Amino acid sequence: MSIIKERVHNFLLQYEEDMLDGVKYLRDDLQEQEAKTIFDAAHFNGSAEFEDDTDRDWTLLYNRGDGTYTLIRRQDDGR
C-alpha cells in the first residue's frame, strides 16, 4: 500500500490509501474549524481520537519531527 500526502484544511496529512474514508470525513464532512479542532488536539497531545458519521474510529497522530499528521484507523477491541 502506498502512502499519500495531501493538505487537508492547510494541514499536511499522510495516510495509506485504504484510509481515504477518514480523510474524506476530515476534508469534506467537517467544516474547517471543526477539523482544525481535531488537528490542534493532535498537535498538543500527540494524538486525537475521533469517530466519523458511520461510527468508524480514527486516530490522528502528530509527527513532531516534520510537523505532519498521520491518520490511522482504530480497531474495535471487542469491548
Encode pLDDT of 57-74 as tens digits: 999 999 999 999 999 999
Q: What is residue 78's predicted lDDT score, i.e. its pLDDT?
A: 46
What are residue 62's phi and psi, to 5 degrees? -100, 130
CA–CA separation, 18 and 65 (whole Å): 24
Task: Name the pTM for this structure.
Answer: 0.91
Scored b (16 or more CB within 10 A) or e, 49-68 reads ebebeeeeebebebeeeeee
Residue 76 — pLDDT band, cuts 50, 70, 90?
low
- 7-58 per-position pLDDT tens digit: 999 999 999 999 999 999 999 999 999 999 999 999 999 999 999 999 999 9
* Rg of the chain, C-alpha, whole Å: 12
Cell, residue 49: 481520537
On whether the CB atoms of residues 73 and 37 are closer than 8 A, the answer is no
